[in-house]
Amino acid sequence: MSSKKETNSAWGGRFSEPTDAFVARFTASVDFDRELAAQDIRGSVAHATMLNTIGVLTDDERQAIETGLREILAEIEAGSFSWSVALEDVHMNIEAALTERIGTTGKKLHTGRSRNDQVATDIRLWLRDTIDVISGELTRLQQGILSVAERERATIMPGFTHLQTAQPVTFGHHLMAWHEMLERDHGRLQDCRKRLNQSPLGAAALAGTSYPVDREQTASLLGFDGPTRNSLDSVSDRDFAIEFCAFASLLLTHLSRASEELVLWTSAQFDFIELPDRFCTGSSIMPQKKNPDVPELVRGKTGRVNGHLIALLTLMKSQPLAYNKDNQEDKEPLFDAAETVIDCLRAFADMVPAIQAKPDNMREAARRGFSTATDLADYLVRKGIPFRDSHEIVGKSVAYGIAQNKDLSEMSLPELQQFSAAIEEDVFDVLTLQGSVTARNHIGGTAPDQVLKAVQQAKQQLKQRGG
Ligand code: ARG
């Protein structure tokens, strides 16, 4: 045995030669999974505490392990810890540092545990922490939206279908539609948190462990709702990462839609809003340019996050039970999706309250597009004309308006009466933009009073969730 070359210290017992240098680098994950260091240490402290409770570690051993791990965490946080690719991943780097620091006792930490349940625990803890940060940023963005929506509850703009002027709406109402999308995203995020909050620790490599581990204890020490129920599933399940990325994709889809609208609205052609200079950039060749880079970039990042969702789905597709090394590939997409979500939410939460509406331009655009045509049709119905006929009458009025370059509200009474004798002087009440939005006064309608109610309800909801 003296001729045996030095092999991996954690698992090299049965190997007769060291790992190929490239293979060591290829299989190592420490360059990215060091992100899990704090959670890894939290999990190890809980595991050691449990091992002490069941008599596997003495009080002194447990204490030495905890103290050593806390010192290591301080070093990692200070940036002075030296990571080694030869030690493969975050788990073995920390364990090796512990043994170097406290001696043989460090080697006892891994009793009744595998890196398979360890890493599953770490990612769940990490994602739970990250979800709480994201939830806070999402709430901050929603608060910003609510404040602008309240301020702009009576500001009239054109509402669109097919990006063609459809009916007047209030800007506040439009913003409250964004709020609804984000409210569903928040629900999905909390759903994901709830389902992931179970402890895989104790599943060990795949079958459980022969030590009488107290899985309830570690679960509760780590703030989990309880232990997972099947050891094979525990080490191989990455549903929570996929669910999170699905949440992220849908959130970014919503932000990309809002971004697209911001880009349109800041264009010279719409000119509905102004974004403060600090959220825009210029052009190196065209001095007049002020580009809405922040919404554009958020719109673009949606593709990146969708890619991560597909990467994780494809990673897990057809994997046999239980743990496979493939799973190491779960981390980079998950980390990047989370970081991207946090950055995009932050950009939006900072930017949205600073949106300056241009009410005159919005109103003018609403006035130009025959946006009260439906109101005229409804008016004729109230005068006893069946809706299909009134639709036809208004269609002809609009064709006349296009030819004469006149909006419905700009036509004289005789001009309007060419199309129906039922039209009387009171028609002008419904042809005004104000009349049109105020008339839509029911739950979910665009009337300023309804927008205010919706804002108040939403504020109440955010308060209940602690926002
Ligand atoms: N670095 C590994 C991962 O991220 C940790 C688990 C390794 N387990 C194993 N049996 N090789 O998945």
Model pLDDT for residues 184-193, shown as the tens digit of each residue: 999 999 999 9
Q: Is the CB of 302 under 6 A from ligand 1?
A: no
Does domain 20-105 sit in CATH 3.40.50.150? no
Tell me the per-residue pLDDT of 218-262, one tens digit each, with 9 for 90 and over: 999 999 999 999 999 999 999 999 999 999 999 999 999 999 999
Question: What is the mean pLDDT of the segment spanning 48-77?
Answer: 98
- Which tens digit of pLDDT belongs to each residue from 140-199? 999 999 999 999 999 999 999 999 999 999 999 999 999 999 999 999 999 999 999 999
Distance 327 CA to ligand 1 centre (A): 7
Q: Is 233 buried (19+), middle (13-18) or exposed (0-12) by CB count in 10 A? A: middle
CATH architecture of 116-363: Up-down Bundle (1.20)
d(CA 421, ligand 1 centre) in Å: 81
Nearest CA to ligand 1 atom 2: 328
Which of 9, 84, 267, 283 is catalytic? The answer is 283
Residue 318 CB neighbour total at 10 angstroms: 6
Catalytic residue among 162, 318, 412, 442: 162
Place of tokens 């890619």: 307
Mean pLDDT, range 339-354, rounded to an integer = 98
Domain 368-464 is classified in which CATH homologous superfamily?
A: Fumarase/aspartase (C-terminal domain) (1.10.40.30)
> Ligand 1 centre from 72 Cα, in Å?
21
**Residue where the block lists tokens 């963005």:** 141
Active site residue 162: yes
- Percent of the chain whose predicted confidence (pLDDT) is above 90: 92
| pLDDT tens sequence across 356-386 | 999 999 999 998 889 999 999 999 999 999 9
pLDDT, mean over the chain: 96
The pTM of this model reads 0.95
Is omega for the bond preceding 454 within 30 degrees of 0, making it cis?
no
Given a contact cutoff of 8 angstroms between Cβ atoms, the answer to whether 416 and 373 are in contact is: no
For 382-413, write each residue's pLDDT tens digit.
999 999 999 999 999 999 999 999 999 899 99
324 in Cβ contact with 288 (< 8 Å): no
Please report the pLDDT score of residue 249 as a whole number: 98
**How far apart are alpha carbons 221 and 218 in whole angstroms?**
5
Average pLDDT over residues 281-304: 91
Please give the DSSP secondary-structure letter assigned to residue 118.
H
Expressed in angstroms and rounded, the spacing between residue 29 Cα and the centre of ligand 1 is 8
CB-CB neighbours of 373 under 10 Å: 22
What residues does each domain of the chain span? Answer: 20-105, 116-363, 368-464
Q: Is the pLDDT of residue 2 over 60?
A: no
Domains 20-105 and 116-363 fall in the same CATH topology: no
420 is catalytic: no
Q: How far apart are CA 16 and CA 4, in angstroms?
A: 6
Of the chain, the end-to-end C-alpha distance in Å amounts to 64
**What single letter denotes the amino acid at residue 334?**
L
Query: Residue 208: left if φ>0, alpha if ψ -120 to 50, beta else—which one?
Result: left
CB 35 near ligand 1, within 6 Å: no
> How many separate helices (H) and strands (E) can be counted in the chain?
19, 4
Q: CA 201 to CA 124: how far, in whole Å?
A: 11
The residue nearest atom 12 of ligand 1, judged by CA position, is 328
Our answer on whether the CB atom of 330 is closer than 6 Å to any ligand 1 atom is no
Q: If pLDDT is split at 50, 70 and 90, which confidence band does 466 have?
A: confident
CA distance 184 to 190: 10
- The pLDDT-based confidence of 467 (bands split at 50, 70, 90) is low
